[in-house]
């Protein structure tokens, strides 16, 4: 995955910088088409955006 600033990612994905910021901070959900644009800008498959591990210190249900 490429390491881009929010500004570079917004430019490459053709999205507003504020949109990238809100998505990254979890303030808004995004559309599949925007996920595709972000993945393309990062030169990864969309599924790679969802490959992460949860921290071990999450509270139990």
Cα 35-14-40 angle, rounded to 5 deg: 45
Band of residue 56 on the pLDDT scale cut at 50, 70, 90: confident
**What mean pLDDT comes out for the span 5-31?**
95
In this predicted model, what pLDDT tens digit does every residue of 20-50 receive, in sequence order? 999 999 999 999 999 999 999 999 999 998 8
Q: Which of 59, 29, 25, 51 is nearest to 42 (CA)?
A: 51
Which of 6, 45, 42 lies closest to 22 in space, CA to CA? 6
Q: Give residue 16's pLDDT.
A: 96
């Amino acid at each position: 995955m490429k390491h881009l600033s929010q500004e570079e990612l917004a430019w490459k994905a053709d999205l507003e910088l504020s949109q990238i910021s809100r998505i990254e901070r979890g303030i808004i959900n995004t559309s599949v088409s925007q996920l595709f644009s972000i993945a393309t800008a990062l030169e990864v498959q969309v599924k790679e955006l969802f490959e992460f591990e949860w921290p071990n210190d999450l509270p139990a249900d």
